[in-house]
Amino acid sequence: MLRVAARRELGAYVVIVAPDPEGPAPEPGQFYMLAAGERWGGGEDERPHLPRALSVLRAGADGLEFLLDDVGPGTARLCELRPGDPLWVAGPFGRGFRVGGDERAVLLCGGGVGAAPLALLQDRLRQAGRAQRALLGFRDGEHARGADLLHGARVATDDGSAGHHGPVTELLAAELAAEPQALVCACGPPAMLEAVRALCAARGARAQLALEAGMACGFGACFGCVVPVRGGGYLRVCVDGPVVDGELLETCLAPA
């Protein structure tokens, strides 16, 4: 059990920080399972919520940072947390981004809270002196404040209230036209990732996709987060991912 040390609002989002001095250092793209230490669920006779799987935003001397968006009762409760509140944390889990030492540029492409793992990845790339550019898509201007988490990010919004009016994949298509050998590292909702996967496949570009999926356990026991792979079969996002090479996937969409 950790304790929330800081909380700040960033447009429509909330960022919480929890020191974890004894925990292992996470890699960009790995995730944690989070639950409020108190009042996690309904009343005494109601079933508690399942922990929520969230990518780590940053990890440093101040602690683990997580980017939250109030989209349901579980995330709403996490957004309510204040400094001093207990936070149940398990992780880090899964496979992160694997960016080699070649000189190709890296395109970071995120949607919504999918910007979170790209912030930590960008930090690592900048420290290594690697060329990178960030492209982030949001539903509106209030959510587009999340772009402040990354350095020099270009923004697209669904309603045109900030940056480019349209999906972030339109920005990505233009970047790939100029630099077709770039490596694309992406995270976002399944429909956005499927568009990124299809675009990269059509252009012959390499892509590493941090998949989003509802998870009950986070360590491969429940098989609730499977996606289909090429040639048949499935992978479990929590242990085989969440970061997966795009060429391995039949689709980024979970089976119906």
Low-confidence ranges of the chain (pLDDT < 70): 42-47, 103, 254-256
> Which residues are registered as beta bridge partners of 246?
none
Q: Which fold has domain 106-213?
A: Rossmann fold (3.40.50)
Superfamily, domain 2-93: Translation factors (2.40.30.10)
pTM for the model stands at: 0.94
Average pLDDT, the chain: 92
Please report, for the chain, the start and end positions of each structural domain, with discontinuous segments joined by +: 2-93, 106-213
The predicted structure's pLDDT at residue 251? 82
Alpha-carbon distance of 165 to 252, in angstroms, equals: 24
145-188 per-position pLDDT tens digit: 999 999 999 999 999 999 999 999 999 999 999 999 999 999 99
Q: What are phi and psi of 74, to 5 degrees?
A: -70, -50
Q: Which of 160, 170, 175 has its CA nearest to residue 192?
A: 170
The predicted structure's pLDDT at residue 256? 58
- Total H helices, total E strands in the chain: 5, 17
8 Å CB contact between 109 and 185:
yes
The predicted structure's pLDDT at residue 44? 64
The predicted structure's pLDDT at residue 212? 84
Which pair of structure tokens corresponds to residue 148? 């402040």
